[in-house]
Structures are given as C-alpha cells and as structure tokens.
Amino acid sequence: MKTARIVNLDLYRALAILFVLFFHTTQMFAGENVNADYYLWGKFGVEFFFVLSGFLVGGLFYKQADNVNLLKFWLLRFFRTYPPYIIALLLSYFAVYFSRAEQFNFGYLIFIQNFYTTIPYFKISWSLCIEEHFYLFFPFIILLSEKVLKKSFLQLGLWIMLCLLPTFFRWKFGSIHPENFGYFETASYFRFEGIAMGCLLSFIIYRYNINLNFSFLAKTSIYLFFILMLFINVVFKNFTFTYTIGYLLFNVSLLLLLAVFYFGNNFILAGNLFVKTVASMAYSLYLTHALTINFMSIVANKFKTNLFLMYSITFIVILIIGFIFYRLVERPTIKARNYFLMR
C-alpha cells in the first residue's frame, strides 16, 4: 500500500481536465463542422474526476475511520471548493445578466441546479453538484457501514450495490432523449457510480491490504478495454443500452485504469511540469474554462478569425486564465483554509 504522493494520480487528474477542455472547446468552435463522434469522448473527463474523488476521499476515511472528524472534513471540503465556486459563479452570472438580463437562480448557492430540467447558465457546475453531494452523504455511508456491517464481505456487497444503483435508476426513471441538457443527464442519483467505484477501490485496497502488480498483458488489456468502452459510449450514444449499461461499463474501465495508475510504476509524463501544473490547477480550469470559451467565441465571430488558429489560441487562453484564477483565488483560499482550520 502506497503512502507517498503518487504522481500518476496527477496525470490521471490532468487527463480528466484535458478531456473536458478538449470537448467544450471543440464543441464551441467546430461543433457544427465536425462529426460529434470525433470529440464527444472528451465529455467523459468528468467520470475520471468522479472515480478519482471517490478513491481519494474513500481512502481518507478507510485509512483512519476510527479517528475521522466528520465536521472537520466537511469544513475542509467546503472552504476548499465553495469560495472559488462562488467567485466563478458570479463571473458567469454577470456575463449572462449583461448579455440577456437573466435573473439569478439561488439554487446555485446550495448545489441543486443539476436537478433542474434545464440548467439555465454555468452549466458545467452540474458535476460539481454531484461532487458536493458526495462529500455530504458518502462519509455517512462509510462510517455507518463500518459500525453496522462488521464483516468485510457485507461492506463489499454494499459498495457493489451502490455501483450498480445508478444504472437501475437510469433504466427505470431516466430518459435517453431529454429536450434540454439537465436533469436526466445530470441528477446525482443518475451519475454517482463513478464515485461509488472509486470508494469501492479504496475499500478493497485498505480493507484487504492488497498490492497489485499488473503484468504487461493485464495493463494492455485494461487500456484496450478502456478505449473500447469509450468508443462504444460515443458511437452508440443514442442507444438505451449505452445510456444505462454503457456508463456502468465505462466506469468499470476507469476503475481498472485508476488501479493501474495507482499500483504501476510512474509514467514518464507523470513527472512532467506541464502535467503537474495542469493537475494542480484543474479545479480553476474547470471553473473558468466555459466562460473563457464563450468570450473567445464572441471574439472569433467579431473578427472572423481562422477557425484552427482561434481554436489553438482559445486553448492557450484557457490555460492562462485558469492559472491566473488559481494564483489569485484558489491557492489563497487553500492557504487561508489550512491556516484557520488545520490549527
């Protein structure tokens, strides 16, 4: 079992945000001119985040379940995520207000917008809502299961059931053809299996004290399985099977991929300065990239700039704005939180 910082997880996080940036940038600048199958895979970057979050938070609780201060955990997560989120939300809302005079929706303050039939603005925040719901409810599941389900196999069964539950919800209550982007694609109980799988992996590692050594054949098989699941979910996106089982199988592939990243030797790219930087400011990039893309699209339409050139410039601007937001907002927030709460 590893205890030192694992740079491969930085690479995993960097891949997650780069997937998302690629998807939204391409969708804005080439969406009507390029077949969606060529860039739709980028939207699954959020699943990387879900699996990784479940794994890290689950590991935190399973390493020290008897000594976890739940209130302190909630405060640490709240002051880590909420202040930067509020600033990004206000920036997004001001842009919406000045462009179409839309009223502020107070549901955004308590993270319920992912249950709206249509998310009115700052749409990328739907995945953060799921993360926040996870921080609120899953620690209860972990701590209660530790106290009530004394046997490891019972807890294992619980996590497997939680991994399967969103698939049942999508099959029973979901809709493959929603009119607008919202509830059927973003509601927490439709999309939390990635988080549950991350928790499942951490449970297996810390409760069974395993240390896996993947052979070349095993790693290759996992990489191919991941690519296959990604391909199926993109190409057959309008099938009920994909909407229900497809997400489940893709998250299984991400669970296996994370296990390879966690137990395997460090990848060459994992120690790269670019990867480390992108991973460290992934949250800032997530919060600011949509507004940046929209602004750059206005610039592109006004000046009729070459599509490929504007696309490349936009990607660079996204990284610059994300870095500025990280230095001015996110990092000071982390320092202030650590100073006041860790004391």
Q: Which residues of the chain have pLDDT under 70?
A: 1-5, 31-34, 36, 65-66, 343
Q: Give the pLDDT score at 203.
A: 95
List the structure tokens of 192: 């939390």
Q: Give the pLDDT score at 252.
A: 97
Give CA–CA dist 35/51, Å, rounded. Answer: 28
Give the C-alpha distances (Å, rounded to integers) separating 121 from 95, 101, 108, 155.
Answer: 10, 12, 10, 39
Give CA–CA dist 181/173, Å, rounded. Answer: 16
- Give residue-wise pLDDT tens across range 209-261: 888 899 999 999 999 999 999 999 999 988 899 999 999 999 999 999 999 99
Find the largest Cα–Cα distance for the chain: 65
Give CA–CA dist 44/229, Å, rounded. Answer: 11
